[in-house]
Structure 1
Amino acid sequence: MANVLILGANGQIAKLAEKQLLNETDHHLTLFLRNSKRLSISDPSREKVIDGDATDVKDIVAALDGIDIVYANLAGRNIEEEAKAVLAAMDQTGVKRLIWISTLGIYDEVPGNFGKWNHQQLDGGYLEPYAAAAKVIESSGLDYTIIRPAWLSNDDIVSYETTQKGEPFKGTKVSRKSIADFVVHLINDPSAQVRHSVGINQPNTDGDKPSFM
C-alpha cells in the first residue's frame, strides 16, 4: 500500500486513474486541486481532498505529509512554474517518486507529416512551456517518469505501446483510459521507468493527424 498525492485531481485522466486505483489497489489517495468543492470522494476511508495551488510551494509541502508517490496531472501555460514548485516541495520533504504528465512533441520527436501538423497545432504557447517544464523535471534528482501522450481520445479502450526519449514517436492518438492505466502501473511498480521520458500511443494509429481531427 502506498500513499499517493494526485496533483490536478479534477482532470479527466486523474479521475480515471483515481477510479482504477480505488477498484484495483489498496493505495490511499490525497486529491489536490484548486477549489476542492468541485470534487467529491467515493471512499472516505482511503481518500482525502486538499484545496491548494500547484504553483505554491507551501501548499504542496503541506500536502506531501506522509506521501510516497506524487502523480502530477497538471496543465496550462504556467506548467513550468508548477514544475518548479513541485520540485522545490519534493526536495524540501524528501519525497522522490514523481509521475509527470507532459505531451508529445517536446523533443521534436514526432516524425513526418504528423510531426509537422503537431507543430502547427501546438507551437506558439503550448508546446514551449511543456518542454521547459520537462527540462526542470529532468534536471532534478527525483525518481521521475515523464509521460508524453499522443493526442487524447475518450475511447473506451485500454490499448497502448511506448517509446523512449530519443526514439521517434509512434501513432497519433491514445485514449485517456490508456494513460490512466499506465499511471496505475507506475504507481503499483514505483521502480518502473524511473528517470525515463515515455511516449505513449495506441498501436496502429499512424497517419498525418489523429482520426478524430
Structure 2
Amino acid sequence: MAKSIVDAMDATSVKRLIFISSMGIYDEVPGQKYRSILDPYRKSAEIIEDSNLDYTILRPAWFTQKDEIDYETTQKGEPFKGGVVSCNSVADLVVKLAETPQLEVRRSLGVNKP
C-alpha cells in the first residue's frame, strides 16, 4: 500500500504525507520484540523513507479512548517511553502537522502519553 501511495503522490506532485504506522517497527520499545507481525509496517516505513516525499511517520503506542490530549514524541533511534496514547492525542498531532507542513518533515515520531 505504501508503494501505491508514494507512486500516486509522485504522479500528482503532492509532497506532504502524514503516515500512521506502529510503535516497535525499529525495535525501539525496550523489552519488546514484535518480530514478523510488524514486517509490513517496517516495509511501509522503508518505502516512505526512501521516497522524495515530505513525510512524517507517526508510530503511536497502544490507543486509548480517554478524552485527553496528553502526549510526547520520540525520534527514530530513541527508545519508546510509554505504552499508551489517546486517539485524541494522535489526532491533535496530525492536525498540528497538517497545519504546519514544515514541522517534523522527513521524521519518524514515536507518540505516547508521558
Query: Smaller-chain TM-score range?
Result: over 0.9
How far apart in 2 are the matches of 1:160 and 1:196?
Answer: 17
* TM-score normalised by structure 1 residue count: 0.52
* TM-score normalised by structure 2 residue count: 0.96
1:133 is displaced (CA, Å) by 0.4
How far apart in 2 are the matches of 1:175 and 1:127?
Answer: 21
How far apart in 2 are the matches of 1:163 and 1:101?
Answer: 14
Q: Comparing both chains, which one has the higher relative contact order based on Cα–Cα distances under 8 Å and sequence gaps of 6 or more?
A: 2
1:130 corresponds to which of 33, 41, 59: 41
How far apart in 1 are the matches of 2:59 and 2:88?
Answer: 14
Q: Which has the larger radius of gyration?
A: 1
1:160 is displaced (CA, Å) by 0.1
Q: Over aligned residue pairs, what C-alpha RMSD do you find? A: 0.9
Q: Which 4+ runs in 1 deviate beyond 6 A?
A: none
For residues 16-63 of structure 1, give each alpha carbon's deviation from its aligned partner in whole angstroms, at most 9, with x where no partner exists: xxxxxxxxxxxxxxxxxxxxxxxxxxxxxxxxxxxxxxxxxxxxxxxx
For residues 85-115 of structure 1, give each alpha carbon's deviation from its aligned partner in whole angstroms, at most 9, with x where no partner exists: 0000011111100000000000001113xx2
Alignment of 1:14-93 (within 5 A): 82-93=1-12
For residues 58-90 of structure 1, give each alpha carbon's deviation from its aligned partner in whole angstroms, at most 9, with x where no partner exists: xxxxxxxxxxxxxxxxxxxxxxxx100000001
Q: Would you say how many aligned residue pairs link Structure 1 and Structure 2?
A: 114
How far apart in 1 are the matches of 2:47 and 2:80?
Answer: 22
Code of the aligned partner of 1:189: T
List runs of 5+ in structure 1 lacking aligned partners: 1-81, 204-213
1:174 is displaced (CA, Å) by 0.2
Where 1:171 maps in the other structure, the secondary structure is: coil
1:159 is displaced (CA, Å) by 0.3
1:103 corresponds to: 22
How far apart in 2 are the matches of 1:154 and 1:132?
Answer: 28
List runs of 5+ in structure 2 lacking aligned partners: none
Residue 152 (1) aligns with residue 63 (2): yes
1:187 corresponds to which of 90, 98, 105: 98
1:200 is displaced (CA, Å) by 0.5
How far apart in 1 are the matches of 2:42 and 2:87?
Answer: 21
Q: Give the share of equivalent positions with the same residue, in percent.
A: 58
